[in-house]
Chain A
Amino acid sequence: MRREGSPFTGVGTVALKEAADHMTSARMHLIMLLVLLTAIGSVYGAIDRIRDTTAEDPYLFLKLFTVARDPLPSFAAFLGFLLPLVAIALGFDAVNGEFNRRTLSRILAQPIYRDAVLFGKFLGGLLVIAIALLTLWLMMVGLGIMFLGLPPSGADIIRGVAWLVVTLAYAGVWLALAIAFSTVVRSPATSALAALSVWLVFTVFWGMIAPLVAGIIAPIDLFDPMSIVRQFEWQQLIARFSPQTLYGEVTGLLLDPSARSVGPVFAHQLRGAVIGAPLPTTQSLLIVWPQIVGLVAAMLLLFTLAYVVFQRQEVRA
């Protein structure tokens, strides 16, 4: 059965309203404060480290994001860890919150489609994350220029922006997950807990689970050296189910021009290679293209799940 009218009527209105709500909510302020503090801490540590090694470092600017000084992790690692938290905070009560405030049926009675509500909520959340990320990124760049006195090159900027876009997609995965939970689970507290446990499993425990499962599937045979490679490949395959792993690989390649591969490299493959020579930006992008596609696909898949459930949901509380 065809329905008339565009499903996107009102998306912009909903998105802007959601974004404005997020921007003024105490929840968002708290979590952004946390991110900001960690960002400043890690960039300060990175600058300190870079100062010591300036002479031998060819990609100073990108190092800002990836260099860490104990006990602080690098900025990129921080984002990989904290960004899901931001996204979950923005999305965990997207739909069930409206239900509980009894606003959903009133909004759905307005001349818009249901689609617009969910699209708007997702885009609104993503918009807020994008603004926050861009601000953070500019802050990092600014601090770098100020303290190191070194302007970034054009290629650095391109890599940095590409990384920013991928970071947004990574946040989108978690936002979609949180919104999916908010449609499926009726209580906001439960949906927040559910989303947080998924986050915990993927960021903390997945790194332990992957080798374990790989060891069971492809045990190492002492007389067959290839079995080691096989086990590693299995382990990598399983690890890549976690968006965290995908994002880590993209970060590693995009922010380090000398990185060549995300998988195992054999000695014969390196024959003739100039070790440490930077790859062109497009080549780095090509290597991690599957990871980027994987992240976007995960985001779309989770959003579609939320969408299908939401479309079929009964309106009455």
Chain B
Amino acid sequence: MSGVVLEARGLAKRYGNAVAVAGIDLAVYEGEVIGLLGPNGAGKTTTILMLLGLTEATEGSVRILGKDPLRQPLAVKQEVGYLPDAVGFYDNMTGRENLAYTARLAGMSRELAKERIAAALEKVRLTDAADRPVATYSRGMRQRLGIAELLMRDCRLAILDEPTSGLDPQSTQELLELILELSQGGMTILLSSHMLDVVQSICTRVALFNKGRIGFFGTVEELAERIGRGSFVIDVEADGIDVAQALQGENGITSVVDSGPGIWQVEAVSDVRPTIARQIVQAGGSLKNMNLRRARLDEAYNRYFREFANAA
């Protein structure tokens, strides 16, 4: 669990006046699974392309396994696998042929490639479909074929762009398990997603992207600590009263959201249940239930990006 696999310093990309990525520092250690999270257009894909050397950065530098992807692209790409967003394969070729092609491009010998392809296909459970044209594959199967390619290449660092987008929950779960297996096999993994709750289970650390910057970089627990801190959520059930109106201007309450007939969700910086109860009773309403809990991580995450958007 040591050794820097990937290091980016002050990475920036501008298209004319438009800023896609505005200076990113990132260090990834061996064996980690890093989640790059953020809404669409936050600069995740551009960052990934710059890391791989497929797009030239306007500013900043990248070192992957101690090499510069712009100066030694072949050496870097030999060690790094990339699964693009909505990966494409040659539809008229079979899954096996597609992998054989990339194996040849990677300079693998025919026997070695054959062996590794068979093993990789077995691992992603595509052996039965391996000799069918990729045109007949479902979205999930294509993603699994992409994973098989990474497995076959046996790269040290794998970069996956939105691997789970457009997949149904079951395929998503299967894919995440495969990614976890890759990681257990010793691969360092960088994956991007716009859904925290999907990938939080497998990420050792996450980086939150917003408007071309990394707003937060740390473990999921640290994230919960930081953006969920001081935030309590109280579900209130009451009749004959508009709770939102009754609690207006009350100290310590950040928001009241109507979340169904007779149900409100109150967010506050402290436990304000007594205040809420008093206000409702004073206003002549009948309080039926109150439930205090800490903010869930995905709520905190969504709120984080909302605040960011408001601040900008």
Q: Which residues of A contact B (CB under 8 A)?
A: 1-5, 9-10, 13-14, 17, 21, 24, 101-113, 314-316
Contacts and interface: CB of A to CB of B under 8 A. Distances in A.
Contacts of B308: none
Contacts of A2: 71
B105 A110 contact: yes
A14 B70 contact: no
B270 interface: no
A9 B84 contact: no
Interface in B83-113: 83-84, 86-92, 101-102, 104-107
Interface of B: 45-46, 49, 52, 54-55, 70-75, 77-78, 80-84, 86-92, 101-102, 104-107, 146, 149
Between B46, B75, B89, B104, the greatest number of chain A beta carbons within 10 A of the residue's beta carbon is seen for: B104
Nearest to B71: A3
A104 B55 CA distance: 13
A5 B74 contact: yes
A21 B105 contact: no
A108 B101 CA distance: 13
Given A4-B71, A4-B72, A109-B77, A103 B105 contact: no
Nearest to B46: A316
A110 B83 CA distance: 11
B46 to A, nearest CB: 7
A249 B191 CA distance: 59
Contacts of B74: 4-5, 9, 111-113
27 contacts: A3-B70, A3-B71, A4-B73, A4-B74, A9-B107, A10-B105, A14-B105, A101-B89, A102-B84, A103-B90, A105-B84, A106-B149, A107-B105, A108-B54, A109-B52, A110-B77, A110-B102, A111-B74, A111-B75, A111-B77, A111-B78, A111-B105, A111-B107, A112-B74, A113-B73, A314-B55, A316-B55
A17 B83 CA distance: 21
Given A10-B105, A109-B52, A103 B78 contact: no
A13 B104 contact: yes
Contacts, number: 89
Contacts of B73: 3-5, 111, 113
Contacts of A316: 45-46, 49, 55
B92 to A, nearest CB: 7
Interface of B is mostly: mixed
Given A103-B88, A105-B84, A315 B49 contact: yes
Contacts of B82: 105-106, 109
Between A101, A102, A106, the greatest number of chain B beta carbons within 10 A of the residue's beta carbon is seen for: A106
A107 B106 CA distance: 10
Given A1-B70, A106-B82, A21 B92 contact: yes
A103 B92 CA distance: 13
A5 B102 CA distance: 18
A239 B136 CA distance: 50
Contacts of B101: 13, 17
Contacts of A14: 105
Contact of B54 (A103, A111, A112, A315): A315
A9 B102 CA distance: 13
In the A-B complex, the 3 residue pairs with the smallest Cβ-Cβ separation, listed nearest first, are A102-B88, A109-B82, A5-B74
Given A102-B84, A103-B88, A103-B89, A109 B54 contact: yes
A13 B105 contact: yes
Contacts of A109: 52, 54, 77, 80-82, 84
Nearest to A14: B105
B148 to A, nearest CB: 13
A106 B72 contact: no
Nearest to B88: A102
A17 B92 CA distance: 12
A104 B45 CA distance: 15
B16 to A, nearest CB: 13
A21 B54 CA distance: 26
Given A1-B70, A5-B75, A109-B84, A101 B90 contact: yes
Nearest to A17: B101
Nearest to B161: A105
Contacts of B87: 102, 106
A315 B55 contact: yes
Contacts of B80: 109
Contacts of B90: 21, 101, 103
Contacts of B88: 101-104, 106
Between B86, B87, B101, the greatest number of chain A beta carbons within 10 A of the residue's beta carbon is seen for: B101
A269 B52 CA distance: 66
B75 A4 contact: yes
Contacts of A107: 102, 105
A110 B89 CA distance: 14
